[in-house]
Amino acid sequence: MVRRRQAVTIKHVAADAGVSLQTVSRVVNKEAGVRPEMVARVQEAIDRLGYVPSIAAQRMGGSRSYLIVALNDRERTIADWRAREGTDWVDQMLLGGMLTCATYGYRMIVELVDTHSDHIARELMGAIAALQPDGVILTPPHSENPLIIDLLEAQRISFARIGSRRAGAGFALTMDDERAAQLATKHLIALGHQRIGFIAGPSEYTLSGWRIDGWRAAMAAAGLADDLLARGDFGYASGRAAAAALLDAAEPATAIIASNDQMSLATLELCRERGIAVPHDVSLISFDNTPIVRFTHPPLTAIDQPIADLAARAVELIIGELAGREAPEQPIIVSAKLELRQSTAPRR
């Protein structure tokens, strides 16, 4: 009979170090106020015994759960999973959020909530009751949903709003979408393009409007018309229809900026079907910069969204508030950048 090795618990560490359970918990949770020599003694016991902290052990130090919940849009996330089109946005959020949580002894869990649901309050309260998180990260479009914001504020839960500039409760973080769209537009203007089309995202996402504003501002500064605007819903089919409208205009676009990679890929495919060479005939810029745009033909120039950095910063802000640190000036901006590849070229 094989006997299972007994798991090392916080009690074993406390006994080995000759300290209380609360002291071990405070060291594990990296709390302030523990003498350096005591931290060293506890850490030596942890290393010697091979102890791996559990959430239950962490909770012994107080009323915290040491959980941070990230709320993502259910409908869009599941649609991407089922279509097997990739969810790099979610992956990058997990990268930044989980690694930063681990640094502070926290865990991050992702919950999917339908922002259009009539039962959104019940769904959210159910998740909060089950998980009792110390903090919540809201992603678009949840980050601009007043019902969710008011509910979290009423529950006195620390939360961060990615993709939001709105004043009020919670930490507002943005990649400055308006500036990002200006970067893309100015790049095309510098290449000599004047008929620059823009495929916007759905209006329920506030950032869609910011990107339109950035495109329009850059066009106006150059004295160019901003009549080539089409809307999509971030899906492939909508991107194809929007691209067709821009290419079929009386004075068609010689360059197109699409607000996400799916709509950019649809534009690229439509151009291929019509015998329009990218970038020889039409230049193309995408938002997102997911891995797939590096392997298209040609590889797409794209706005790189700093999702991992935004999620990491959101976690730090939540944990900082729980520790009583003063909040920084808001909105907090983690700037996007333009990744140049082979899908843009001087206008012929």
What is the reported pTM? 0.77
Any alpha helices (H) in the chain, and if so which ranges?
A: 10-17, 21-28, 36-49, 55-59, 74-83, 88-103, 120-131, 146-154, 177-190, 206-221, 236-247, 261-273, 307-322
Q: Which residue has the higher pLDDT, 333 or 58?
A: 333
Tell me, what's the pLDDT at 62? 54
CATH for the 67-175+307-335 domain, from 3.40.190.10, 3.20.20.140, 3.40.50.2300, 3.30.565.10:
3.40.50.2300
The string of pLDDT tens digits covering residues 157-185 is 999 999 888 888 899 999 999 999 999 99
Measure the CA angle with vertex 97, ends 128 and 305; round to 5°.
120
Q: For 305-323, what is the mean pLDDT?
A: 93
pLDDT band at 292 (very low <50, low <70, confident <90, very high): confident
CATH 3.40.50.2300 maps onto the chain at 67-175+307-335, 178-304
Burial class from Cβ neighbours inside 10 Å (0-12, 13-18, 19+) for residue 283 reads: buried
- Residue 66: is its pLDDT beyond 50? yes
Contact assessment for residue 33 and residue 69, using Cβ atoms and an 8 Å cutoff: no
Q: What is the DSSP string of 226-239?
A: ---EEE--SSHHHH
Which of 32-46, 95-109, 223-237, 254-268 is predicted least confidently?
32-46
The string of pLDDT tens digits covering residues 93-125 is 999 999 999 988 899 999 888 766 667 778 888
How many residues are given for the chain? Answer: 348
Which of 7-16, 66-75, 77-86, 339-348 is predicted least confidently?
77-86
Q: Using CA atoms, how far apart are residues 95 and 299, in angstroms rounded to an integer? A: 24
Tell me, what's the pLDDT at 2? 42
Contact assessment for residue 257 and residue 279, using Cβ atoms and an 8 Å cutoff: no
Residue 33: partners with Cβ closer than 8 Å, 6 or more residues away: 26
Single out the residue of 169, 112, 179 nearest to residue 317, CA to CA: 169
Single out the residue of 87, 88, 89 nearest to residue 78, CA to CA: 87
Report which secondary-structure segment, H or E, holds 173.
Answer: strand 171-174
- Provide the CA 99 distance to its chain's centre, in angstroms: 14
Tell me, what's the pLDDT at 33? 76
| SS3 (DSSP) at 151 | helix
On average, the pLDDT of the chain sits at 88
CATH 1.10.357.10 fits 178-304, yes or no: no
pLDDT band at 1 (very low <50, low <70, confident <90, very high): very low
Residue 338: partners with Cβ closer than 8 Å, 6 or more residues away: 180, 183, 184, 187, 285, 301, 302, 303, 304
Give the Å distances, CA to CA, from 237 to 78, 191, 285.
17, 29, 18
Residue 327: partners with Cβ closer than 8 Å, 6 or more residues away: 171, 317, 320, 321
Name the residue with tokens 């194809």. 240
Give the Å distances, CA to CA, from 143 to 74, 123, 169, 344.
14, 16, 11, 33
The string of pLDDT tens digits covering residues 204-219 is 888 999 999 999 999 9
CATH 1.10.260.40 maps onto the chain at 10-59
- Provide the CA 286 distance to its chain's centre, in angstroms: 17
Q: Give the highest mean pLDDT range of 60-64, 126-130, 259-263.
A: 259-263
- Which amino acid does the sequence have at 323? A
Measure the CA angle with vertex 75, ends 91 and 141; round to 5°.
75
Tell me, what's the pLDDT at 63? 63
Tell me, what's the pLDDT at 89? 80
The string of pLDDT tens digits covering residues 20-62 is 888 887 787 677 678 888 889 988 988 888 887 665 555 555 5
CATH topology of domain 10-59: 434 Repressor (Amino-terminal Domain) (1.10.260)
Q: Which residue has the higher pLDDT, 242 or 143?
A: 242
pLDDT band at 132 (very low <50, low <70, confident <90, very high): confident
Report which secondary-structure segment, H or E, holds 86.
Answer: none
pLDDT more than 90, % of the chain: 53
Contact assessment for residue 137 and residue 315, using Cβ atoms and an 8 Å cutoff: yes
Structure tokens at 311: 């999620």
